[in-house]
Amino acid sequence: MDYFIVEDVNELLKLKKGDSSRLNNIKEACESNEIISISDRKYIERLSSQYLRPTLQKKSKTQDKPKFIPIEEPKDLSREENTDFETNQISKIEKPQIYEKPLISENSNEEKISKEFNFKPNKKILLAIASIILAFILIGVIIGNDGIQLSNNSEPIQNNTLPDFSLQIDNSKYDASDIISISGKTSSTSTGTVRLFIENEKNKLIWEENVNLKNNGEFSTLLIAGGIGWENSGKYFLNVEHNDFTKKISFDFIGK
């Protein structure tokens, strides 16, 4: 409970100053240990400074004791010597030492941080070594992709590259009894034949033929869609083989 506010409210009620209902509400709130709002506190302070403080100042002035003028006494030299001795003894008493907390400046923090990160040059050395290792790895990968290797005689040997191989048909969908036109070309200079064959969705062989290569590497043939193995509609696969190279394309077939 705020006793000072209650006392001021009681004095104001006696003097019949201010709003009595508001003052009683403030008094009840104080006695109930409720929180007094800032506006109510300012209201009490304003009334107290206006009506209560001047009366208290007057009382204090009237109650002041009369001042006495001191009468000087004759100086006593022996007493002066004693007082000098006492002051000297008091001066000798050590004053209590007040220990202040050391101030932490920004420079001290910077020095600590710099000490903690003195190993940065070591990191730079490690990064330089790692970059050199990566450079050697990249050089090895590039050389490997180009197909260049060094033998015991230090002579470069280049790997064989795959020849260009094309295979196409004249349509992507065929009905039963349609003619399928097959053609293609290889960049290989070797002569001979290419093996053409067709498989169904179950990877079952339903047609094959060996076709001779022309001088320019081209090949072509015709066949009729349908027959044994062509009973079901679905996706079929045309394959071509030449030496160790193969290629595959697909087409749709609609059966009867």
Alpha carbon distance 225, 181 (integer Å): 10
Mean pLDDT of 120-146: 74
Q: How far is residue 256 from each of residues 175, 200, 225, 230, 251, measured CA to CA in Å?
A: 8, 16, 11, 9, 17
Residue 147's pLDDT band (cuts 50, 70, 90)? very low
Residue 170's pLDDT band (cuts 50, 70, 90)? very high
Percent residues over pLDDT 70 in the chain: 62
What is the overall mean pLDDT for the chain?
75
Using the predicted structure, report yes or no on whether residue 149 has a pLDDT greater than 80: no
How high is the pLDDT of residue 157? 35
Residues 230 and 241 sit within 8 Å (Cβ to Cβ): no
Place of tokens 């000798």: 92
How high is the pLDDT of residue 255? 85
Using the predicted structure, report yes or no on whether residue 241 has a pLDDT greater than 80: yes
105-109, 116-120, 155-159: least confidently modelled range: 155-159
Residues 6+ apart with CB under 8 A from 143: 149
Q: For the chain, which domains are there?
A: 3-58 (no CATH), 165-254 (2.60.40.1930)
How high is the pLDDT of residue 127? 80
